[in-house]
Amino acid sequence: MHTLNQDPRDDNDYDIDVALLFQRNALPEDPRAARQRVADALGKRCTNFTQEPSARTNAVTVWYAEGYHVDFAVFRSYSDDFGREKIEHASTDWKERNPQEINDWFRKAVATKSPSLGLLTKVPEGQLRRIVRFLKWSTRSRPSWSLPGGLIVSSLVVECYRPSFERDDVALYDRVVALRNCLALDSTIRRCTIPLIDPSSRPTPKSQTK
């Protein structure tokens, strides 16, 4: 999605998501066992952890000594009886889900909602992506704040985005106002293309894992 920021608090507490796609016959049929196999492999091949890789509900999480952590979501691919490719995510069960869909959804939103280049456009292309990046940075700028993660922020920005053909700061302000108004009427966060991660399954903050 290209919306990653440097940590505004300078403590390297990055949350990086990686999709691992395997052939179906390369993983156990039990999704929990599949996640555990990946966790065991990471534990054997990688170093510099603050704790051993953990096979969590939706991903295998690795905490690094530098401060950041990586969530490895495990997927399997196979062809069904009609020759169609199926991709499933190892969650509580094997759930059909294509990890590429979220990137395709966001790229399409950036392309269709951002101001198009033209005589009246004074901002570079891709304004929506920059607004998402600004807001994601802001949500992590205060240690005392407990705000939604990046995917939720991205979904809300896309839903409430108001373009400005002249200035990014105007688009940012208008988006914040629109977001406030939207959430005042309805605080439901609609999914974009895939179910959002259950907040209860998110990794423990770094400060609690040392």
Residue 31 and residue 75: Cα distance in Å, rounded?
9
Q: Give the DSSP letter string of the chain.
A: -------TTSS---EEEEEEEEEGGGS-SSHHHHHHHHHHHHHHH---BSS--EE-SSSEEEEBTTS-EEEEEEEEEEE-TTS-EEEEEESSSEEE--THHHHHHHHHHHHHHSPPSSTT--S-S-HHHHHHHHHHHHHTS-TT-----HHHHHHHHHHH----SS-HHHHHHHHHHHHHHHHHH------SSSPPPPGGGSPPPGGGT-
Residue 150 and residue 161: Cα distance in Å, rounded?
16
Say if residue 191 is exposed, middle or buried (CB neighbours under 10 Å; 0-12, 13-18, 19+). Answer: exposed
| Res 127 pLDDT > 50 | yes
pLDDT at 9: 56
Q: Say whether pTM exceeds 0.75.
A: no
67: left (phi over 0), alpha (psi -120 to 50) or beta: left
User: Given pLDDT bands bounded at 50, 70 and 90, which one contains residue 199?
Assistant: very low
Render pLDDT for 54-104 as a digit per residue (tens, 0 to 9).
Answer: 999 999 999 887 777 889 999 999 999 999 999 999 999 999 999 888 889
| Res 178 pLDDT > 50 | yes
